[in-house]
Amino acid sequence: MSTTISSSILLELHIKLYKFTDCLYLLDGRFDSLEKVFLDICQISTPEIVINNKKELPKLKAFSLYSDQPTFQYNELIVPLLHRMVNLEELDLHLVVHCEKRFVDDHNLKYIQYH
């Protein structure tokens, strides 16, 4: 993915991505007006490079993440991404998660403020 693309008017995005790294690039602030993001990701695994994504996504109101491939990095990748979505109103996750716990519950998502 090119790192030179940006937009201040794009409000909604539906896209299929190959790697989770591409998702981090999309949500690094270059599309700062996004309100709804719908992602279908083929592979959710630890990025090969370090991407410092800690900036909040205050305009994001709806987020959907779909992946039918198993991931072992739910706690390391998905939860920190969701915590950046401070004004989220709609959340849709369709994931195959391998983790130590039996359930992914509201405790995992407790820092996300739903409105």
Q: pLDDT digits over 7-33, tens only? A: 778 899 999 999 999 999 889 888 889
Burial class (CB in 10 A: 0-12, 13-18, 19+), 105: exposed
Which residue has better confidence, 47 or 100? 47
Residue 49, token pair as written in the block: 């490079």
Neighbours of 25 (CB within 10 A): 19
- pTM (two decimals): 0.81
Kindly report the CA angle at 35 between 29 and 40, in degrees rounded to 5? 80
As separate numbers, helices (DSSP H) first and strands (DSSP E) second, the chain gives: 2, 4
- Segment 49-57 mean pLDDT: 80
Could you tell me the pLDDT band of residue 68, with boundaries at 50, 70 and 90?
very high
How far apart are the C-alpha atoms of 62 and 86, rounded to whole Å? 11
What gap in Å lies between CA 91 and CA 88, rounded to an integer? 7
| Predicted local distance difference test score (pLDDT) of residue 115 | 41
Residue written as tokens 């794009």?
10
- Check residue 32 and give its pLDDT: 85
71/112 Cα distance (integer angstroms)? 21
